[in-house]
Amino acid sequence: MKPATSTTRLTLTVDNLTSEGEGVARRNRDIYFVPGALPGETVEVVLNGRRRQVWQTRLLSIQTPSPQRTEPLCPHYQRCGGCDLQHLQYPAQLGFKQERVAREFSRQNISVPDWQPPIQAEPWHYRRKARLGVRFSQQKSENFVGFREAASAHLTNIDECLVLPAHPALNWAHWREQLGQLQGRAHITQIEVIVADNALALVLRILKPLSDADQTSLIDWLQGTVTAGSLPLQLWLKTDKQAAPQLLWPAPAEPLYHLVDELPLQIQPDDFIQVNGAVNRAMVQQALDWLQPQPDEVIWDLFAGHGNFSMPLAKRSQQVWAVEGDESMVTSLQQQAQQLQLPLHARCADLSGNDGLRELPGPAAVLLDPPRAGAAGIMQELLQRQVPRILYVACDAATQARDLNVLITAGYQVVRAGIMDMFPQTHHVETMVLLERKAKRHG
């Protein structure tokens, strides 16, 4: 980055937002990114340097605020790097995300004949999974617990996270106090929160095993935080040498699960799950409504994870193939399918290429839910199979648009699309698109 003196100040007018939710201003041929600014605002900024022909800035003051601006509810908002759109009213957040996806599709010449209403739920206290950093300061002789600051490796202390559920065990000021009393307080690096439907699991990631006294102290304290009506607690520990977290308390404990389509899908603490339970349930139902799986159809669920889509599909179709690249997830899929008595076939395959799919029977429909990098590696296999229906769920609109362009060029058409607000208060957005293969004209 080209440096700039921190005393260089400018007054700018913001005209739109980047895909990451930063304000964009222009002056002559220069472009300025202004985190925290909104379209239509006149702002004063200080220059932080130049990267790739774009000036990075820090917002100093807002001279003319947008009517869509709102006061962030979180007291840690100015420093915490977790939520980046709290200053934008929630309806406007949805509008921004809709426009962002439409812009990415337009860049790939993708037309959507039917945009469905966004899937949304409560914009606060929605997050089911999060990982907080823990750092012990020798100089100050205290623990810091919180999230990384924006564009920084530094931890910012937080007392409460307003996108996590309200639970007495998620008071981070109390955690700092409790950790400070442990012998091994310098060995704890992270606290991971997993909110299942039947319990709240807390995973402490540690450099060295905790003493029996420290373990007892934590258990005694957590037992005292459970109040009437709150979720039961589980405490897990994980060192760098362990492949998976180990349950410390209570022992034994009921396996963690969350309900999807009335199915109790078991989850391990390390499993990926969609962080917004209400939006996830609505998303799965919409996928079933759009894809319309039939009892006699072969259906592929690619990038299947722990069965979020596979299991509901297997309730409706007699031959569902769940393909996933993680061997432990495949084992979990097989076990759960047996427990739930569902006709699901789990297959471990590297979906960065086509090899893992060639032995599978031809599908009538395919559901894709790839990671951020998209599904470019399997596009040719889908085209060769001439799959009649494809439902593509994505967490990155740009890579999804790239893949959709390949399908549309080869003869598919978009039937409908819609966004899902899985991460309120942030710039992240999920998108669902249904495609059908065009019928060939004869004569």
Whole-angstrom distance, CA of residue 394 vs CA of residue 247: 33
- Note the pLDDT of residue 322: 97
Output the DSSP codes for 320-340.
EEEEES-HHHHHHHHHHHHHH
1-69 and 129-254, same CATH topology: yes
- Note the pLDDT of residue 443: 45
- For residue 184, give the amino acid letter: G
- Note the pLDDT of residue 58: 94
- Is 324 marked as binding a ligand? yes
- Note the pLDDT of residue 141: 85
Write out pLDDT tens, residues 403-443. Answer: 999 999 999 999 999 999 999 999 999 999 999 998 765 44
Whole-angstrom distance, CA of residue 3 vs CA of residue 125: 39
Catalytic-residue membership of 83: no
pTM of the model: 0.93
Residue tagged active-site, from 80, 83, 161, 395: 395
103's enclosing H/E stretch is helix 90-107
Asked if residue 321 lies in contact with residue 299, where contact means CB atoms within 8 angstroms, the answer is yes
Output the DSSP codes for 260-324.
ETTEEEE--TTS---SBHHHHHHHHHHHHHHH---TT-EEEEES-TTTTTHHHHHTT-SEEEEEE
- Is 274 marked as binding a ligand? yes
- Note the pLDDT of residue 355: 75
- Is 147 marked as binding a ligand? no
Output the DSSP codes for 371-414.
-TT-SGGGHHHHHHHT-SEEEEEES-HHHHHHHHHHHHHTTEEE
Q: In CATH, which superfamily holds the domain spanning 1-69?
A: Nucleic acid-binding proteins (2.40.50.140)
225's enclosing H/E stretch is helix 212-225
Query: What residues of the chain score a pLDDT lower than 70?
Result: 1-6, 151, 440-443
Give phi and psi for 117, each to the nearest 5: -60, 145
Residue 46 Cα distances to 30, 34, 39, 91, angstroms: 15, 10, 18, 30
- Return the domain boundaries, the chain: 1-69, 94-122+274-437, 129-254
- Which CATH code, of 3.30.450.40, 3.40.50.150, 1.20.1440.130, 1.10.238.10, is assigned to 94-122+274-437? 3.40.50.150
Would you identify the CATH topology of the domain 129-254? OB fold (Dihydrolipoamide Acetyltransferase, E2P) (2.40.50)
- Is 369 marked as binding a ligand? yes
Asked if residue 316 lies in contact with residue 342, where contact means CB atoms within 8 angstroms, the answer is no
Q: Is 437 left (phi over 0), alpha (psi -120 to 50) or beta?
A: beta
- Note the pLDDT of residue 149: 80
